[in-house]
Each structure stands twice: as structure tokens, then as C-alpha cells.
């Protein structure tokens, strides 16, 4: 008789390659786009308020990164679905807040920081937010479920001999 406790539960597992390989891909793709974004924000900020420039670049880079991460970082070999874009946008919004707060605090402490100082603060905040974003994308957004297509087995309780006798 097979034990009902021996059934394998359906749980989310991390997606794609191992954690180190996917983190390296995330750093190269997301970090590359992040560095380009960090150069684009101050350029766009010459025409718009800094927070607006950061928001515009964040939206564009998030859409691009979500596609790249779906296809390459987490090896989905397909375009990101809407759910994944929305979840990714949520993590990007947190990153936007982190970078905006960090640069705003810098401007409070030093009213006219140099571009290098602003970049160091922006990239540090972006790196910390990116690490948290990687964990969220890997463990939740792009995680896969084992046995998704098989019906869920609900173990039937068979009465024990003691229950029948009672």
C-alpha cells in the first residue's frame, strides 16, 4: 500500500539555469542596461526634472530587461507574459523609489554634486535594488512549477483498523 505522505507536492522552484549562471546573466544583461540607463537619466534630466527622467528611463529599461530576462537569463526561450511584465514592473517601481530617494538625499546633503558622485550614488542604489529584483524574479516571477499539467492528487484517508473497530 502506498503511503499518502509519499506523494510529491507541487511547489515553485527556481527557473532556468543554476543560481550562479542566472545571476551572471542577470548582471550582464540587467547591469548593462542599467549602466546605459544611468548615462541616459542625466542626459534626459537636462530637459526634464530628474525624477521624471528617471521614471521614463526606468519604464523603457524595465520593458527591455524583462524581455531579455525571460528569453536569456531564466531560459524561458519565449517572450515575457503580461503577468511577468507587471510583476517585473512592481520590482522596478521599488528600484525607481530607491534610486530617486538616494539621489534626492544626495542633493539635500550636497546641493550641486558632480556627475561622478551622482553616478556612484545612483549605481549603488541601483545595484542594491537590482539584487533584490533578481531574487524576486528568480524565485517568484519566472519560477516554474513541477507537474503543472498533471492533476493534483489529493490523498484519500483510509480508515485505520482502530477507527473501523470503534
Contact 132, 92 (CB under 8 A): no
| Residue 6 pLDDT exceeds 80 | no
- Give per-residue pLDDT as tens, 18-45: 888 889 998 899 889 988 988 999 999 9
Pairing relation of β-strands 12-13 and 144-145?
antiparallel
Check: pTM over 0.85? Answer yes or no.
Answer: no
Query: pLDDT band at residue 46, thresholds of 50, 70 and 90?
Result: very high
Closest listed residue to residue 38, CA positions, set 140, 127, 150: 127
Choice between 13 and 115, residue whose per-residue pLDDT is larger: 115
| Residue 10 pLDDT exceeds 50 | no
- Give per-residue pLDDT as tens, 112-148: 999 899 989 988 998 898 888 888 888 888 877 543 3
Amino acid at each position: 500500500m502506498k503511503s499518502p505522505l509519499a506523494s510529491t507536492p507541487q511547489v515553485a522552484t527556481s527557473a532556468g539555469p543554476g543560481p550562479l549562471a542566472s545571476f551572471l546573466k542577470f548582471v550582464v544583461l540587467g547591469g548593462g542596461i542599467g549602466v546605459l540607463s544611468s548615462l541616459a537619466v542625466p542626459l534626459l534630466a537636462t530637459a526634464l526634472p530628474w525624477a521624471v527622467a528617471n521614471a521614463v528611463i526606468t519604464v523603457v529599461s524595465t520593458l527591455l530587461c524583462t524581455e531579455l530576462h525571460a528569453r536569456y537569463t531564466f531560459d524561458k526561450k519565449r517572450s515575457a507574459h503580461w503577468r511577468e511584465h507587471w510583476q517585473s514592473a512592481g520590482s522596478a517601481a521599488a528600484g525607481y523609489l530607491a534610486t530617486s530617494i538616494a539621489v534626492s538625499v544626495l542633493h539635500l546633503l550636497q546641493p550641486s554634486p558632480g556627475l561622478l558622485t551622482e553616478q556612484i550614488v545612483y549605481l549603488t542604489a541601483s545595484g542594491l535594488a537590482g539584487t533584490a529584483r533578481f531574487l524576486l524574479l528568480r524565485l517568484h516571477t519566472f519560477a516554474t512549477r513541477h507537474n503543472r499539467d498533471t492533476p493534483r492528487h489529493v490523498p484519500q484517508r483510509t480508515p485505520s483498523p482502530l477507527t473501523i473497530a470503534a
